Amino acid sequence: MKRLIGYTLFWTAVGMALALFIESVFLRIVIILILMLTGYNLFLC
């Protein structure tokens, strides 16, 4: 469980770092929604 939490926190940090370079708020929201849906589907399958 600690490995899963660490993995999740690492990629959350990577995503936040990448968000610093994306200036468009709309593009950020679209990317967040796509990644949330993909993560949800991968988690359940």
* Tokens found for residue 28: 């950020």
The tally of domains found in the chain comes to: 1
- Domain span at 15: 2-44
Q: Could you write out the DSSP letters of every residue in 5-40?
A: HHHHHHHHHHHHHHHTT---HHHHHHHHHHHHHHHH
DSSP 1: -
pLDDT for position 1: 78
Question: pLDDT (tens digit, 9 = 90+) per residue, 2-14?
Answer: 888 888 888 888 8
pLDDT digit string, tens, across residues 1-45: 788 888 888 888 888 888 889 888 998 888 888 888 887 888 787
To the question of pTM greater than 0.75 for the whole model, the response is no
